[in-house]
Structure 1
Amino acid sequence: MDHEKPCVCVLDASTYVGFWILKGLLNRGYIVHAAIQKDGEKEIEKQIKDMEKVEERLVVFHVDILDYQSILVALKDSSALFCCLDSPDSYDEKMVDLEVRGAINVVEACAQTDSIEKIVFNSSLTAAVWREDICSDKDVDERSWSDQGFCRKLKLWYALAKTLSEQAAWALAMDRMLCMVSINAGLVLGPGVTQQNPRSTMFYLKGAAEMYENGVLAFVDVNFLADVNIRAFEDRSTGGRYFCFNQIVNTEEEAVKLAQSLSPLIPLPPRYECQGSEVYAERLKTKKLNKLVEGTAC
């Protein structure tokens, strides 16, 4: 029945998350338009081009997110867009603006097509956790947003980019009456992540100590994240934001394990003791995700 699966688009497929979503879609029989930016992850881009040679359901497009027409070409005949925007370089104020403009262009392009049924917009937990009262005991859920002024003050450019681009996407999607869901992922872990996603990993972890101490440092396995993306598209009842993570890091032992999994990106301290003396409260709530995963699996 594979031939009955619709055509979908992944943009940018050369990001770490985009690539794993692409693989998940192909494994489930979808026709996939892999939209790649010119400055994407080179190793992943090569893998996608090699896959295109042997996979008839995969078509590669080169896009510029600031070039509206190139996005339209990649979206042609697609019933869904999986949007995965990440800077291939460093995050600064200029890159924040570029990512926001890119998100607006992508959503507007979707509005101009007749085929797009749903946008699955990949955002980040960092778009929800940063604010002046981060040390409060309030729960952090899908209604929470990071404070722009606080992010600027602490130069949390990655968090600011994810916050503003997601907010811009939501504003435009609602204005154009598009069906959209956002997946707010924790720190992404998975095969080859330190080689293929080093910059985004390090940008996410800016302020990691504060996130850890305040119960909002969490990680997600990339396979699980890709699966949630596809479920969010296939389940017609989905809407709004979904926090997506496997575990909250809130003990010394878990923090050390996380650092070990990201070596050599994160050097371990010269001496450490895993006595579990500090256990921080878990403040991230993910009821919506649980319903999606459990409901679709039934």
Structure 2
Amino acid sequence: MRNNLEIIIAKLNDVDSLVKAFEGCRGIFHTSAFTDPAGLSGYTKSMAEIEVNVTENVMEACARTPSIKRCVFTSSLAACIWQDNVNSDLTTPIINHGSWSSESLCIDKKLWYALDKMRAEKAAWRIANERGLKLTTICPALITGPEFCHRNPTATIAYLKGAQKMYFNGLLATVDVKKVAEAHACVFKEMNENAYGRYICFDNVIDAQSEAEKLAKDIGMPKEKICGDASNISLQRYELSNNKLCRLMFRPIRCFSEN
């Protein structure tokens, strides 16, 4: 069998370079994951600004490449969950595919990773709408899996900034890396028929302290960074919903018989 795999290196700050790399491709998966060169901060404000610019370049290159028909953009659940406090005694606010994090809250709390993912995703949607590009976005929770967090420490550390509040708000969720890959493949395949818009992707919501402590141990983080002290914390509880993705990935297969 002939090997048709070709590896091309492109410059993410050069749209023309990206267009050349994309020539002949029918679809693009943009799964950017920047790393902190210092290995200390996890994610900085300047890194966030760079990643937004890269997203704009990739989307513009997609729009300029005639062969490309579809694009799947990897955002983050962090682009959805950071909400201003909601006062409601009757219902639990739901975070789903229509939710966006508060930009002012992210800036105030220096949640640069969440701010970047939100701004980058919005930039992707703006360019896609302006240029008529077919786009879907997937918003994964904290990605886990065998040694995944240790191989990708920047994204893990950055995502977990504010982990205590996520945990006590009912918004600390995880997803296995294999599930994320399956979601990308499913959404891409279904874009001509059933897939559209945004998709939240998670396996498990960390509700119990034992689960939080296990997560901290698995990623090599002090448990206090996640569990903290709940005695003086009174926060709004939310509910996460990934129903839209579940309906797409697990919808019944219709069988037709020929007479």
Task: Give the TM-score range, shorter chain.
Answer: 0.7 to 0.9
Paired letter, 1:148: E
When residues 257 and 191 of structure 1 are mapped into structure 2, their CA distance, relative to the original with a 3 A threshold, is: same
Q: Is the 8 A contact 2:95 2:238 kept in 1?
A: no
Which residue in the other structure is 2:97 paired with? 142
2:183 maps to what in 1? 228
Give the secondary-structure state (helix, strand or coil) at the position aligned to 1:82.
Answer: strand
Q: RMSD of aligned C-alpha atoms? A: 2.1
For 1:194 and 1:172, locate their aligned partners in 2 and report how far apart those are by CA, in whole Å. 32
| C-alpha separation in 2, matches of 1:168 and 1:228 | 22
Structure 2: distance between partners of 1:209 and 1:297: 41
2:183 counterpart of 1:248: no
Aligned residue for 2:139, secondary structure, equals strand
Match of 1:238 in 2: 195
Match of 2:233 in 1: none
Aligned partner of 1:186 in structure 2 is 141
Distance 2:223 2:95 in 1: 29
Whole-angstrom CA distance in 2 between matches of 1:198 and 1:172: 30
Question: Following TM superposition, by how much is the alpha carbon of 1:115 offset from its aligned partner in structure 2, in angstroms?
Answer: 1.1
AA aligned to 1:157 is: W
Q: How many residues align?
A: 234
Distance 1:268 1:211, change over 3 A: closer
Q: 2:29 aligns with which of 74, 77, 82?
A: 82
The aligned runs of 1:192-203 (5 Å cut-off) are: 192-203=147-158
What corresponds to 1:211 in structure 2? Answer: 166
Equivalent residue of 1:60, what SS? coil
- Listed as ranges, the gaps of 5+ residues in structure 2 are 37-41, 228-235, 255-259
Contact 2:212 2:223 in 1 (8 A): no
1:108 Cα deviation from its structure 2 partner: 0.7
2-structure distance, mates of 1:202, 1:208: 10
Structure 2 equivalent of residue 37 of structure 1: none
Runs of 4+ in 1 over 4 A off after TM superposition: none
Q: CA deviation at 1:134?
A: 6.4
Q: How does 1:1-298 map to 2 (within 5 A)?
A: 56-89=3-36, 90-133=42-85, 137-235=92-190, 236=192, 237-262=194-219, 264=220, 266-268=221-223, 283-295=239-251
Q: Contact 2:80–2:118 (CA<8 Å) still a contact in 1? A: yes
Distance 1:134 1:253, change over 3 A: farther
Of all paired residues, the percent bearing the same amino acid is 35
- Say which structure, 1 or 2, has more relative contact order (CA 8 Å, 6+ apart): 2
